Chain A
Amino acid sequence: MRAGNKLALILLLTPLLLWIGLLIIIPHIDMFLVSIRERVGVGKYQISLANYWTFLGEPLYLVTFARTAIMSVLATVLTLIIGFPVAFFIAKIAKGRLQSSLFLLCLVPFWVSELVRTFGWMILLRETGLISNLLQWLGLVDGPVELLYNDVAMIVGLVYTSMLFMVVPLVTTLESLDDSIIEAGYDLGGSTVSITREIIIPHAMPGIVSGSIVVFMLSLGNYLTPTMLGGKDSLWFTELIYSQFIVRFNWELGAAFGFMLLILSSAIIWLLLKLTGQTLEKTMT
């Protein structure tokens, strides 16, 4: 019996271990080895930290790095602010069919690929696009307005792309909150603000944190949205990594960039967990 259990455990673990080993650990080791290589001549390499020094010595890379992090945090906060009321409505106020159809509505945009969704935003926002034409038709503006190719368009795209990943964990945690606790809060003379602050948000904290982690990671690692909606000033760190690998044939620097991004995202998530007093185990259950 015990031997059977052991076998079952091994069989169940094998796919997971293969996944982690083959697709995560081994490629990372390989990438680390590439990142500490320096090209010294045609086809000749030596081990050195030159790529990391290049990263630290070039203000452009550091600025892009910081910009990507700040914009991702901003996108995450905005997603939370927009997503929280939506999730609360779905979990607590909507009932029956309305509840499931609202939930479905959040899901619908994800039935098409991210590329199509981004193109959709381009059609809406461009100079000859829908919104520009509508504003002109209403007589609010004189000439065509360009809404695309700026940071606001980029943030809108990022928030839209990751909304679902904030709403789902929030709905799940909010549903587990007993309505009678909120009623008790009102009975004891609490205002809507104080109840939200003292009861709802603390209860939803694990959902908020896990949603934020997912949205932050998605924004930080997003390539398509910043490139397509951001325009000429939209330097995003993943774009730098892509161009080092594909356009410049400079895998060594690209790998170093990749590692810096990994360190950055881990650091920010660690900080987030510390600030909110959550642990990774608690938010993932």
Chain B
Amino acid sequence: MKSKTLTSLAVLTAFGLGLAGSASAETLRLLTWGGYAPDEVVAMFEKETGHKVEVTLSNNEEMIAKLRATGGRGFDLAQPSQDRIAGPQAEFGIYKPMDLSKIDSSQFIASMLEATKANTTVDGEVYGVPHVWGTSGLVVNTAMAGSVMDYTDLCNADVAGKVTYRLKRPTLIGFAFSMGLDPFAAYGDEAAYQAIIDQVQAKLIDCKANVKTYWGGGDELMNLMRSGETVASMAWDTGGWKLNADNADITFVAPASGALGWIDTFVLPAKGKADQAAYDWINFVMQPEIAGMITDVAGNFTASKGADEHVSADLKARYQASFPPADVDNIKWYPPVPAGLEALEGAALDRVKAAN
């Protein structure tokens, strides 16, 4: 009789514990970029915390469009770039403020954390913390297009018909810097910005004859560069390093006027339902060993302090070859995009595409 009571008590306790366990375990719906949530890391996280992770891959524009369509519903954690947070938040209200006390800030590189916090503050509330950073610049086949040192060199006669870049805002910004203009300084002044965009538009229309095609996705770019159909392009650093692994001639070159630096962040969508899991995920992936694993998969470095030690030697060597210290200081970090500027840029890009 006594043993029976004990057993049922044990069962009840186990049941109760099970319930308690399932109450704190949540499903984390993560909206992120390819490579930022490798299966291995997800499995380790699920094992350690009991949360479940559902990963959806996307890009900046689609992330914002998705969250805008649902008013910030459907995901618990998203990873847009830091310059794309303040504008959309002011315009559409799709994020919710971060509770910084729930994040272990000692795991972050302090300067990067502070810069991201400053750039993602709206009405005194902080909306984002940094995760992965990288740059965009030039990916060049140095054996065939050694003359390409800056964005405007893509318009040189010796690479005519062998150039590819995206028709998106980084191209406008990169060309502007390369032409000696400073678009970031004009962010606050729509008329001045329009003047810069007009000049870049004229340059891009001139340059159009040089372009083989405007690439749309990473795979398309890889194919074009790998097959030798194009010899110079505007692209991300990781794209260049990946190609470098296959063909030693192709690599990422930081442009003379400065590579463009981006930081992808963590933000909480306005109607997210698993905030605790989201904070757990942030603290988990910012551990140096885990951050090193993500760098190995994504190719880009993270804002995690001390993670460099856990990154493969290959990747480090490629990074150092592309970025001598002076070039690191020359990186132009994207400031927050004021709401409404995209419409100006969009009209210019459409005109470039339509020009003959």
Chain A residues within 8 Å of B, Cβ to Cβ = 39, 42-43, 58, 60-61, 63-64, 126-128, 146, 148-149, 227-228, 231-233, 235, 240, 243-251
Interface residues of B in 314-356 (CB under 8 A from A): 339-340, 342-343, 345-347, 349-351, 353-354, 356
User: Which B residues touch A248, using CB under 8 A?
Assistant: 342-343, 345-346
Q: Is the CB of A250 within 8 A of B346?
A: yes
Q: Is the CB of A249 within 8 A of B168?
A: no
New A-B contacts (20) at CB < 8 Å, excluding given A39-B340, A246-B65: A42-B339, A42-B340, A43-B92, A43-B93, A60-B354, A61-B350, A128-B228, A128-B229, A231-B212, A232-B208, A232-B211, A235-B350, A235-B353, A243-B350, A246-B61, A246-B62, A248-B346, A249-B61, A249-B88, A249-B91
> Residue on A with the closest CB to B356?
A233
Q: Is the CB of B350 within 8 A of A149?
A: no
User: What 4 A-B pairs are tightest by C-beta distance, nearest first?
Assistant: A248-B346, A128-B227, A231-B213, A149-B213
Q: Is the CB of A249 within 8 A of B64?
A: yes
User: Interface extent on B, as a size class?
Assistant: 20 to 34
Q: Is the CB of B342 within 8 A of A249?
A: yes
Is B305 an interface residue when CB atoms closer than 8 A count as contact? no
User: Which B residues touch A64, using CB under 8 A?
Assistant: 354
Inter-chain CA distance A148–B161, complex, in Å, is 13
User: Which B residues touch A228, using CB under 8 A?
Assistant: 216
Q: Is the CB of B61 within 8 A of A247?
A: yes
Is B52 an interface residue when CB atoms closer than 8 A count as contact? no
Q: Is the CB of A126 within 8 A of B93?
A: no
Candidates B93, B168, B227, B351; contact of A247 at CB < 8 Å: B168
> Residue on A with the closest CB to B68?
A249
User: Which B residues touch A246, using CB under 8 A?
Assistant: 61-62, 65
Inter-chain CA distance A235–B353, complex, in Å, is 7
Is B11 an interface residue when CB atoms closer than 8 A count as contact? no
Is B184 an interface residue when CB atoms closer than 8 A count as contact? no
User: Which A residues touch B353, using CB under 8 A?
Assistant: 232-233, 235
Inter-chain CA distance A126–B227, complex, in Å, is 10
> Residue on B with the closest CB to A44?
B91
Is B214 an interface residue when CB atoms closer than 8 A count as contact? yes
User: Which A residues touch B91, using CB under 8 A?
Assistant: 42-43, 249
From residue A62, how far is it (CB to closest CB) to chain B in Å?
11
Q: Is the CB of B342 within 8 A of A126?
A: no
What are 30 A-B pairs at a CB distance below 8 A? A39-B340, A42-B91, A42-B339, A58-B347, A60-B351, A128-B227, A146-B212, A146-B229, A148-B213, A149-B212, A231-B213, A232-B212, A233-B353, A233-B354, A233-B356, A235-B350, A235-B353, A243-B346, A243-B350, A246-B62, A247-B168, A247-B346, A248-B342, A248-B345, A248-B346, A249-B65, A249-B68, A249-B342, A250-B342, A251-B68
From residue B225, how far is it (CB to closest CB) to chain A in Å?
12
User: Which A residues touch B351, using CB under 8 A?
Assistant: 60
User: Which B residues touch A148, using CB under 8 A?
Assistant: 213
Candidates A60, A233, A251; contact of B350 at CB < 8 Å: A60
Is B110 an interface residue when CB atoms closer than 8 A count as contact? no
User: Which B residues touch A251, using CB under 8 A?
Assistant: 68
> Residue on A with the closest CB to B169?
A247
Q: Is the CB of A63 within 8 A of B354?
A: yes
Inter-chain CA distance A19–B229, complex, in Å, is 47
Q: Is the CB of A127 within 8 A of B229?
A: yes
Q: Is the CB of B350 within 8 A of A240?
A: yes
Candidates A42, A61, A127, A235; contact of B90 at CB < 8 Å: A42
User: Which B residues touch A247, using CB under 8 A?
Assistant: 61, 168, 342, 346
Inter-chain CA distance A136–B249, complex, in Å, is 26
User: Which B residues touch A128, using CB under 8 A?
Assistant: 227-229
Interface residues of B in 36-72 (CB under 8 A from A): 61-62, 64-65, 68
User: Which B residues touch A127, using CB under 8 A?
Assistant: 227, 229
User: Which A residues touch B68, using CB under 8 A?
Assistant: 249, 251
User: Which A residues touch B350, using CB under 8 A?
Assistant: 60-61, 235, 240, 243
From residue A245, how far is it (CB to closest CB) to chain B in Å?
7
From residue A26, how far is it (CB to closest CB) to chain B in Å?
15
User: Which B residues touch A61, using CB under 8 A?
Assistant: 350
Inter-chain CA distance A148–B227, complex, in Å, is 14
Known A232-B208, A249-B64, A249-B88: A244·B354 in contact at CB below 8 Å: no
Inter-chain CA distance A63–B64, complex, in Å, is 30
Q: Is the CB of B346 within 8 A of A244?
A: yes
Candidates B88, B90, B208, B343; contact of A250 at CB < 8 Å: B343
Inter-chain CA distance A233–B90, complex, in Å, is 35
Which of the listed residues B216, B351, B354 has the most CB atoms from chain A within 10 Å of its own CB?
A: B354
From residue A208, how far is it (CB to closest CB) to chain B in Å?
34
From residue B83, how far is it (CB to closest CB) to chain A in Å?
14
From residue B227, how far is it (CB to closest CB) to chain A in Å?
4
From residue B32, how far is it (CB to closest CB) to chain A in Å?
17
User: Which B residues touch A227, using CB under 8 A?
Assistant: 216
From residue B35, how far is it (CB to closest CB) to chain A in Å?
21
Inter-chain CA distance A149–B215, complex, in Å, is 11
Inter-chain CA distance A249–B346, complex, in Å, is 10
From residue A23, how far is it (CB to closest CB) to chain B in Å?
16
> Residue on A with the closest CB to B349?
A243
Candidates A42, A146, A235, A250; contact of B354 at CB < 8 Å: A235
User: Which B residues touch A149, using CB under 8 A?
Assistant: 212-213
From residue B302, how far is it (CB to closest CB) to chain A in Å?
27
Inter-chain CA distance A60–B349, complex, in Å, is 11
